[in-house]
């Protein structure tokens, strides 16, 4: 498919700690520039909003310039500006939307405030091509765990379920915290899990009991699992026994991957969907990838996972979603759009 006649969309992402700017035409990514304040944050043990806002402010203009430069275009070539309007941290979001509004006014080009979580699914169109008519999207990250039924990525997304408490990546970080691993603990837990026995400890699978089927068939809960790990570790510690850290991590990771994939495959079957997209930073998790590949193959479902650089927060996902909504003829956003830290997942554009 040629995209030469498609509008050129500049996308800006700043919902958390990455300042991302990308240029997309159709489903072609021209360039994706990311500046991260994560290294600075790790010193303090996490995302520090004050630092993040200032870091976004300092990185914004250079990142825009770099993206344009590397893509070989100028600002006057840009046909539309897309920006994350939520969900996310209010301070960083405000930096991104302010930059996007300024560009929109300065260039006289339309502004599109879009949903970060839906962007995590849409970015797969850049590498995997246009979605078929109906796809299931599982978006899993430090801040989100949601199951979305996508009939049209630009106009029609239904939230089937989300986590009621901790997101999958957050549960990994908290288990890392209670095992004394460095922040963020998720990648450490993942690494240790690969060396352990996933069947060593039977940890609970949240919201999978028959009584939860009616209201919570597609919702997730990882808080009880986290608490179960904490209590198991405490009981061992109090008894003066060693903690088999690898087995704890493997059994915990198995429980998370089991629930995520079982509910997602059930949702695909129930809604007659044969393509699953897994997006968000947690899609890098080894156990999730393995189990999703196996269970999708068994169920005859095509599994699509974007390249890892597009799973973490980035500008390409926002430019991709911006491109989709522009091509669908969705009305632009007003220049007075607010940022929304708890933006509903069925709101694609504001």
Partner 1 sequence: MSGRTVTPGNGATAGAGSTSQTGTTPQDGAPAKGSDADAVAASTVRAAVRALGAGAGSVTLELPDADATRALGATLAELLRAGDLVILTGDLGAGKTTLTQGLGRALGVRGQVASPTFIIAREHPPLPRQDGTRGPALVHVDAYRLGGLGELDALDLDSSLDESVTVVEWGRGLAEALTEDRLEIDLARPRGGEPDPDDPESGVRRATIRGVGERWTGPRA
Task: Assign 171 to helix, strand or coil.
Answer: helix
Helical pair 245-270 and 168-178, crossing angle rounded to 10 deg = 170
* Residue 31 parent element (H or E): strand 28-36
Q: Exactly one of 11, 20, 26, 88 binds partner 1 (CB under 8 A); which one?
A: 88
Measure the CA–CA gap between 172 and 261, rounded to whole angstroms.
16
Instruction: Kindly state whether residue 89 participates in binding partner 1, applying the rule CB under 8 A.
Output: yes
Cross-strand pairs, 146: 139, 162
Instruction: Kindly state whether residue 215 participates in binding partner 1, applying the rule CB under 8 A.
Output: no
Q: Is 122 exposed, middle or buried (CB count within 10 Å of its CB: 0-12, 13-18, 19+)?
A: buried
Q: Exactly one of 47, 121, 139, 318 binds partner 1 (CB under 8 A); which one?
A: 47
CB atoms within 10 A of CB 71: 21
Instruction: Kindly state whether residue 230 participates in binding partner 1, applying the rule CB under 8 A.
Output: yes
Q: What is the 3-state secondary structure (H, E, C) of 58-99?
A: HHHHHHHHHHHHHHCCCHHHCCEEEEEEECCCHHHHHHHHHH
x/- mask, partner 1, residues 132-151, rule CB under 8 A, reads ----------xx--------
Instruction: Kindly state whether residue 341 participates in binding partner 1, applying the rule CB under 8 A.
Output: yes
Segment lying near partner 1 (by CB under 8 A), choices 60-68, 74-82, 291-299, 341-349: 341-349
The pair phi, psi for residue 229, each rounded to 5°, is: -65, -45
Instruction: Kindly state whether residue 116 participates in binding partner 1, applying the rule CB under 8 A.
Output: no
Instruction: Kindly state whether residue 177 participates in binding partner 1, applying the rule CB under 8 A.
Output: yes
User: How is 41-61 classified by DSSP, letter by letter?
Assistant: HHTTTS--HHHHHHHHHHHHH
Instruction: Kindly state whether residue 342 participates in binding partner 1, applying the rule CB under 8 A.
Output: yes
Smallest distance, partner 1 to C-beta of residue 75, A: 31
Instruction: Kindly state whether residue 308 participates in binding partner 1, applying the rule CB under 8 A.
Output: no
| 173 assigned binding-site residue | yes
Q: Exactly one of 18, 32, 173, 247 binds partner 1 (CB under 8 A); which one?
A: 173
Which parts are annotated binding residues? 116, 120, 139-143, 173, 186, 190, 285, 313
Which parts are annotated binding residues for Fe cation? 116, 120, 313
Which parts are annotated binding residues for substrate? 139-143, 173, 186, 190, 285
* Residue ranges in contact with partner 1 by CB under 8 A: 16, 44-51, 53, 87-91, 142-143, 162-167, 169-170, 173-174, 177-178, 202-204, 206, 209, 223-228, 230-231, 234-235, 237-238, 341-342, 344
């Amino acid at each position: 498919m040629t995209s030469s006649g498609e509008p050129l969309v500049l996308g800006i992402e700043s919902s958390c700690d990455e300042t991302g700017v990308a240029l997309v035409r159709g489903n072609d990514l021209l360039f994706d520039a990311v500046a991260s304040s994560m290294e600075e944050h790790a010193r303090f043990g996490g995302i520090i909003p004050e630092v993040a806002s200032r870091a976004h402010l300092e990185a914004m203009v250079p990142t825009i310039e770099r993206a344009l430069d590397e893509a070989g275009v100028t600002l006057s070539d840009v046909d539309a500006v897309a920006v994350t309007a939520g969900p996310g941290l209010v301070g960083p979001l405000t930096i991104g939307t302010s930059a996007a509004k300024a560009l929109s006014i300065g260039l006289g080009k339309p502004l599109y405030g879009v949903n970060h979580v839906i962007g995590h699914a849409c970015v797969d169109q850049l590498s995997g091509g246009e979605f078929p008519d109906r796809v299931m999207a599982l978006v899993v990250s430090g801040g989100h765990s949601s199951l979305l039924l996508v009939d049209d990525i630009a106009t029609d997304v239904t939230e089937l379920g989300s986590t009621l408490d901790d997101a999958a990546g957050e549960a990994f970080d908290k288990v890392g915290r209670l095992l004394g691993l460095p922040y963020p603990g998720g990648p450490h837990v993942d690494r240790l899990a690969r060396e352990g026995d996933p069947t060593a400890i039977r940890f609970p699978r949240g919201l999978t009991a028959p009584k939860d089927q009616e209201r919570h068939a597609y919702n997730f809960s990882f808080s009880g699992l986290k608490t179960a790990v904490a209590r198991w570790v405490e009981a061992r510690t109090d008894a003066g026994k060693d903690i088999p850290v690898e087995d704890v991590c493997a059994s915990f990771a198995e429980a998370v991957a089991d629930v995520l994939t079982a509910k997602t495959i059930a949702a695909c079957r129930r809604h007659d969907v044969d393509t699953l997209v897994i997006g968000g930073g947690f899609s890098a998790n080894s156990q999730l990838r393995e189990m999703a590949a196996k269970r999708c193959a068994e169920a005859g479902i095509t599994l699509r996972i974007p390249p890892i650089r597009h799973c973490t927060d980035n500008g390409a996902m926002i430019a991709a979603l911006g491109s989709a909504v522009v091509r669908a003829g969705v009305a632009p956003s007003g220049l007075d759009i607010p940022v929304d830290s708890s933006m509903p997942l069925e709101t694609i554009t504001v």
